Structure 1
């Protein structure tokens, strides 16, 4: 249960899908001031990571432009590293759910950057690979993508950058 909230029975109606909607009802704030202010949003890891991600995305857009999104670049870059692979595997390796990776691949395929074909061993699976144009794009964007990472980490000294990346790996 979330501190400061209690579960309440859902109303007799559901959302558009027919499922009952769960509601949270605010409880009275604790009288102890320490308990009340223990949670400060600006000090929470999730919020800090979200703000850093927004900064990184702004740098990405400034360096690479609006024609390629970070998820599209992640898919292209990972395909370049791996070679041909299933759409499902690419989604897992780039931390995208099935619907997101499908949309990303649809857009990349429409731009002729990715080929998609059925796996002959299992026709339910799709095999993805970079097209010649996709390989050329990756080769051209890689130096800019490295610059994005460098700019994102630039407020830190080089030893701090290494430490941050190591700590983030441990948190995965």
Structure 2
């Protein structure tokens, strides 16, 4: 980077820096509302698993939540140990295991959903309703 380029580089205007700060703010709000020890990634995993049609493989679940295989394995292991999801052999392919939510996992999602909606509202609170919708639409475009 030349000296001229460096003089025009303002950290506070860089997208990655701003996204990280916005994510930190969101995670702080998340931590204030969630008291069950559930992380945002665990919630997303549990929610996806509950809302998709029937049990699914760990690989498919990871793709739906946007996680790599190693991260998915760790999240799934923690959710199983908490009794929130279960793993059973696939009846059509004995080499594969299928994941599904337990009653306890479904109940936790139902209990947590209103708080998750509040977290989103609190995260977007500095924006007008129009700005909030536009912001979410722009984030969707980036993903």
Which stretch shifts more, 39-48 or 116-125?
Answer: 116-125
CA shift at 1:85, angstroms? Answer: 1.5
Of 54, 57, 73, the residue aligned with 1:102 is 73
Of 148, 151, 165, the residue aligned with 2:119 is 148
Q: Which has the higher helix share?
A: 2
CA shift at 1:66, angstroms? Answer: 6.0
Equivalent in the alignment of 2:31: 61
Q: TM-score, normalised by structure 1?
A: 0.77
Equivalent in the alignment of 1:75: 45
Whole-Å Cα distance in 2 between the matches of residues 141 and 108 of structure 1? 15
Q: Work out the number of aligned pairs and report it.
A: 142
Name structure 2 gaps, 5 residues minimum: none
Whole-Å Cα distance in 2 between the matches of residues 90 and 49 of structure 1? 25
Whole-Å Cα distance in 1 between the matches of residues 36 and 42 of structure 2? 11
Whole-Å Cα distance in 2 between the matches of residues 159 and 67 of structure 1? 33
Q: TM-score, normalised by structure 2?
A: 0.92
Name structure 1 gaps, 5 residues minimum: 5-29
Which stretch shifts more, 147-156 or 84-93?
Answer: 84-93
Q: Does 1:169 align with 2:137?
A: no
Larger radius of gyration, structure 1 or 2?
A: 1
Of 82, 85, 94, the residue aligned with 1:114 is 85
User: What is the aligned-residue RMSD (CA, Å)?
Assistant: 1.5
Rate the CA distance shift 1:40–1:124 in 2: closer, same or farther, 3 A.
farther
Bigger RCO of structures 1 and 2 (CA < 8 A, at least 6 apart) = 2
